[in-house]
Structure 1
Amino acid sequence: MYSKISQEQEVILKKLLNQKNAISFARIVLLAASVYFLYLMLYRKQEVFGWVALVFIVLFILVVTVYLKLQSKVAYHKTLKQINTNELAFLSGTYQFTDGLAYQNPQHAFSYDLDLFGSHSIFQFINRTGTFLGEEALAESLQQIPTADYILQKQEAIKELAPNLTFRQHFQTLSHLADTAKEDDLAIKKWSESSIQTPPKSNQILAIAFPVLLFLSVLGWIFNLHAVFPKLVFLFFTLNLIAMGSFSRFIMKEIGKSDKISNALMQYSKMLQAFENQSFQSKHLQLLQNQLKFKQNTAFEIVTQLANHFEKLNTIANLFVFIAFNGLFQYHFWVYKKLQNWKNNHQKQLWEYMKILGEVEALNSLANFAYNNSDYQYPNISSDQIAFENLGHPLIPKDKRVRNSIDFHKKRFVILTGSNMSGKSTFLRTIGINLVLSYCGAPIDAQQASVYPLPLWVSMRLTDSLSDSESFFFAEVKRLKQIVTEAEKQPIFVLLDEILKGTNSNDKQSGTIGVIEKLHQMNVLGMIATHDLEVCETTNKYPETMENKCFEVEIIANELHFDYLLKNGICQNKNATFIMKKMEII
């Protein structure tokens, strides 16, 4: 489908570019003709050439309007084509989507340890957002532990969005055309939270009095009532400009609060229109649509009004517009008044609308993930069970992916052993990432699965903190303390990989056993990977709730062979000495 859409867009673009080139040439011809006939009027002093020049000027303005619309269409279809080209590249194994590295947080309960953000992360794998708001909403979605009901609502929404490629790509195209960075969206937020300065009443009196007096003076001049009226016209025209010059400081302050706001808001209004006009059956999407209604107006209408106000205010920098419009009726004062009225009526809604757009973008990205992986299954949302059948890691190429099953219902805590490179850490991350995707409402690579939204805590990739003068061991202990503290408050799910690496073997062994027994007493679910086979004996104390699983390795013809298949019991084979001998280290 991506290839088909890309080819269709190529054909459309070719036609549009031909039209654009023709219109561009027409602009030049019409402009040249206008100048030529103006010259003839001045040179030959014949009024008819002036009228002909006026006709060409009007035609030039109309052609420029058509040209600008064509330019917008070209930008739209170029972006849509690029979206499909990117998806084709992604499916072939190459993708350059934003990696979300800015959201990496070593203090988070699981995102840092599971590598949710950064190069070749799950965020980069899923992300199809075009704005900072969408990117932030997706990042937040990947780090939340929602309620079971909310997960089901999101599942329903993603199921509905996934096959609706036309709407999804239209919405995605508009988001990319918005072209907003973090500072642009935050400027909108800052503006929406700021108070608008109310100008002195004297400004409004002058904005009414001077234009009225100018109008009356023009009438007196037209009807030749007195010789003073032409001078009065000039006087009041000048006074209008002086009054606006004095008032312009209010406008410049308002514009200065939000750079690029007009273009961004115009694109956001189009996104709102696209979402509002779409018919949805899922409860979550309908709820989002309902939040965009305000009295008799839609969010699209409200935000479009604001974008138009800002666009008009921005023309204050145009010298011709400033003199002509403000000299006649103090145009920008009245635009500012409309902006003031808008802010008084809708200020509270603006940022809420923006956040809803971000959430739709995040859902759109997850729906795209579902569409690209139509063989994935949506997990059953349970009240007390976490189990996966034939579970795979979505970031491992499908031809190299090994799937395993695990059930935490009866045996709620698993001690995992295995030799080096046998797949322990990968399996921990496989469970963690698929839990994260399940909580987002997305499908996962499993034959079937059941989950319920337990808070997830992971300890896998802690590092020394030189800036805090903190050792690796102390960083581990702090994380374990966080996990124990959280487990005392509520049930949690943990994934621990070779804990207490920063201490000696005896301390490590006794400490690991102590942590396992402590977590077991607090009814924690999860898995711990370890090389200490003695730790596995802990399961003998709790055979009904704990079990041992392992990954084995074989040495065949002096080569290591990993099958990455999860087995029952304790790992029997070791490979560290073999690897070092093979690499002639020992």
Structure 2
Amino acid sequence: MNQTIIAQYEHHINLSDAQIKRFSKKANLFSILRLVAFGCFLTVIYWSVKLDSFVLFALGAIVIGATFRWLIARQSWFDKQKKYYEDFKAVNQNELDSIKQFSNIYPNGEVFVNEKHYYTSDLDIFGNASLFQLINRAATANGRQKLADWLNAPASKQVVLRRQEAVIELKDKNSWKLDMQARLLFANKQHVNELSQLFKYLHKPLHLPGEAWLSKYVIVGPALFIAAFIASFYLPYANIVAISIAILNFIITGVTAKHTNQTDLIAGKIGNTLKSYADVFNSIEKEQWHAEYNSALANKVKATNGNSTSSIIKQLSNLINNLNARLNMVVGFFLNIVLVWNVRYVIAIEKWKRANHENIEVAFDVVADYEALLGLASLHINNPDWAMPQIADGEGFTLTARTIAHPLINERLRVANSYELNNTRKIDIITGSNMAGKSTFLRTLGINTVLALAGAPVCAQSMQVSVVQLFSYMRIKDSLNESTSTFKAELDRLQMLLKAVAEQPNIFFLVDEMLRGTNSVDKYLGSKAVIERLISQQGVGLVATHDLQLAELEKQYTDYVRNFYFDIQVVNGEMLFDYKMKPGECKTFNASLLLEQIGIFSKPV
């Protein structure tokens, strides 16, 4: 366990606690000062009435109103800082819990579980206690989808190398990484469709009737009203003009209320959310990047035509929040009869949409990419002894690893093995006793290959791997809904495997105990036939089995089949497992011993 990084997280937590207390005190102080300001305003009203002084009231209202507004702004800023450090503490605590307990405050990816996928179900890629749960640091639905896509399919060598470089750079920017996670944590509880609904809204024009002349009127109308209102103090009948304009403004507001509500239906709910995203984009824009992948992402959101993404998003946030001022009935009434407020900001939002909607989805996709990278970087930071794999070339298949272990097994319990397949085509048959480690080893190779081809570090001292498409045959289940027996499910999976090997040149398969749903004779004959078909198709992979007869294939196909095994040692009737893979075929099996231990089987005397 890496004590250095644990100490860093603990330091960040202690720092956050101190800052949370500090900003809580400041926010509470300014809350009291707001009450004092309100009391001062009541005092001004009292003395204004007593002295019959409009000047005193006007001056007092202006001064106290400005002070009150400043106090609200400062308290809001203190509350925002407090919330930031609460989130910063949460993400640091989450890293500690991930290291010590494999827990995670981010979703575990159960929505991506697909029993019919080539490998994700068998290799525990998604769901509870999965690789996704270990890796995921994406608060947004887009970020989680991006990470899931990376784990669902291998990337090209070029993409893998670019991601590796990006992850290595992020490893050295852990403070920025944690800051980004804290700024995005608000989205972890966000409705998954919120951004997609926003994107649809941005691409859908409002078609406000008379927008051309209304755009001019929202400037001219309020100016005429204010002029008429001031003139009413000096000229007779000017007040009639002011009232007439106010009535016209009210009518315009009512006629366009449908379009205002359409705007508010989607946009009105995410003004503050967009402001939070603006801070996220600003953090990306300000950071200095050297890795090609990170630089390319950042360049997509940096200033173009003088406007950065953060400033553009903040503009939309401000427009939406200004529109929301109408929700206070009293304030909204006066804003609309004087400034035609609703129409003014509906038009402003529409103009913003037309100018910027094409770039927004690209910008949010950048955030999703960074979130996926944050997850891979977390592995690199929290497990500094893990290796960044080499991506091999060559006509054959390469999967070579030294002291490779399963990343989802606690480091105090997992046992490492080594394996070598170097630019060749082989089928390795692994025999061994029950619980000796065959299945775990297959999953170890598989899950680390998924990590490697996503651009992540692997749980090994070193690893070289070709860009392969994994295919697993492990947890075969029946299905009552589909009226499918276990044996039928196995046949379907085998058919899928043979078709994949025939059609895709880079399939690397992991098969654990074929044809469990039939009798021992058919099981052996069927398994042997499948392996021979795979050999004829030049298939590459590993087959784990209890059927020792299958090891005989090495004699028939000496250039293609290799035998390995996991065994046990029996000492004084006790089974000892070392979980180490060895060359050759297994000679020791333990089923009778296990049955004897539970009282089902006894040795003849």
TM-score (norm 1): 0.95
Q: Which residue of 2 aligns with 1:231?
A: 240
**Corresponding position: 1:16 with 2:27:** no
Match of 2:379 among 369, 381, 386: 369
Provide the C-alpha distance between the structure 2 equivalents of 1:95 and 1:69, rounded to a whole number of angstroms: 32
- SS in structure 1 opposite 2:509? strand
Provide the C-alpha distance between the structure 2 equivalents of 1:84 and 1:255, rounded to a whole number of angstroms: 36
Quickly say closer, same or farther: Cα 1:572–1:218, change in 2 above 3 A.
Answer: same
Provide the C-alpha distance between the structure 2 equivalents of 1:458 and 1:258, rounded to a whole number of angstroms: 45
Letter in 2 for 1:509: Y
Provide the C-alpha distance between the structure 2 equivalents of 1:474 and 1:296, rounded to a whole number of angstroms: 63
1:516-559 superposed Cα distances (whole Å, 9 cap, x missing partner): 12222222221111111111212222212220111001211111
Match of 1:29 among 33, 36, 46: 36
Deviation, structure 1 residue 52 = 3.4
Q: Conserved in 2, the CA contact under 8 Å of 1:465 and 1:471?
A: yes
Q: Conserved in 2, the CA contact under 8 Å of 1:192 and 1:351?
A: no
Stretches of structure 2 lacking an aligned partner (at least 5 in a row):
1-7
**Corresponding position: 1:38 with 2:38:** no
**Corresponding position: 1:296 with 2:306:** yes
Match of 1:82 among 78, 90, 94: 90
Provide the C-alpha distance between the structure 2 equivalents of 1:211 and 1:485, rounded to a whole number of angstroms: 72
Alignment of structure 1 residues 60-459 onto 2, 5 Å: 60-93=68-101, 95-97=103-105, 98-179=107-188, 180-201=190-211, 203-204=214-215, 207=218, 210-222=221-233, 224-225=234-235, 227-258=236-267, 260-293=269-302, 294-384=304-394, 385-409=398-422, 410=424, 412-459=426-473
Letter in 1 for 2:446: G
Letter in 2 for 1:515: V
Letter in 1 for 2:19: I
- SS in structure 2 opposite 1:297? coil
Alignment of structure 1 residues 566-581 onto 2, 5 Å: 566-581=581-596
Quickly say closer, same or farther: Cα 1:501–1:297, change in 2 above 3 A.
Answer: same
- SS in structure 2 opposite 1:436? helix
Deviation, structure 1 residue 285 = 0.8
- SS in structure 1 opposite 2:472? strand
Provide the C-alpha distance between the structure 1 equivalents of 2:239 and 2:294, rounded to a whole number of angstroms: 62
Provide the C-alpha distance between the structure 2 equivalents of 1:373 and 1:229, rounded to a whole number of angstroms: 77
Letter in 1 for 2:24: L
Quickly say closer, same or farther: Cα 1:516–1:467, change in 2 above 3 A.
Answer: same
Q: Conserved in 1, the CA contact under 8 Å of 2:215 and 2:347?
A: no
Provide the C-alpha distance between the structure 2 equivalents of 1:250 and 1:497, rounded to a whole number of angstroms: 61
1:42-84 superposed Cα distances (whole Å, 9 cap, x missing partner): 3553446523354333222211110001000000011101211
- SS in structure 1 opposite 2:362? helix
Alignment of structure 1 residues 534-553 onto 2, 5 Å: 534-553=549-568
RMSD: 1.9
1:122-150 superposed Cα distances (whole Å, 9 cap, x missing partner): 11111122222222222221112110010
Q: Conserved in 2, the CA contact under 8 Å of 1:388 and 1:448?
A: yes
Q: Conserved in 2, the CA contact under 8 Å of 1:187 and 1:258?
A: no
Q: Which residue of 1 aligns with 2:67?
A: 59
TM-score (norm 2): 0.92
Provide the C-alpha distance between the structure 1 equivalents of 2:227 and 2:15, rounded to a whole number of angstroms: 60
Provide the C-alpha distance between the structure 2 equivalents of 1:498 and 1:566, rounded to a whole number of angstroms: 17
**Corresponding position: 1:3 with 2:10:** yes
Provide the C-alpha distance between the structure 2 equivalents of 1:463 and 1:399, rounded to a whole number of angstroms: 32
Q: Conserved in 2, the CA contact under 8 Å of 1:408 and 1:526?
A: no
- SS in structure 1 opposite 2:193? helix
Provide the C-alpha distance between the structure 2 equivalents of 1:131 and 1:549, rounded to a whole number of angstroms: 44
Quickly say closer, same or farther: Cα 1:568–1:259, change in 2 above 3 A.
Answer: farther
Q: Which residue of 1 aligns with 2:513?
A: 498
1:249-288 superposed Cα distances (whole Å, 9 cap, x missing partner): 1121122135632222222221111111111111111111
Provide the C-alpha distance between the structure 2 equivalents of 1:456 and 1:411, rounded to a whole number of angstroms: 15
Give the aligned length. 584
Letter in 1 for 2:378: N
Letter in 1 for 2:108: D
Deviation, structure 1 residue 389 = 1.2
**Corresponding position: 1:585 with 2:600:** yes
Quickly say closer, same or farther: Cα 1:499–1:314, change in 2 above 3 A.
Answer: farther
Q: Which residue of 1 aligns with 2:532?
A: 517
Q: Which residue of 1 aligns with 2:3?
A: none
Provide the C-alpha distance between the structure 2 equivalents of 1:308 and 1:540, rounded to a whole number of angstroms: 75
Identity %: 29
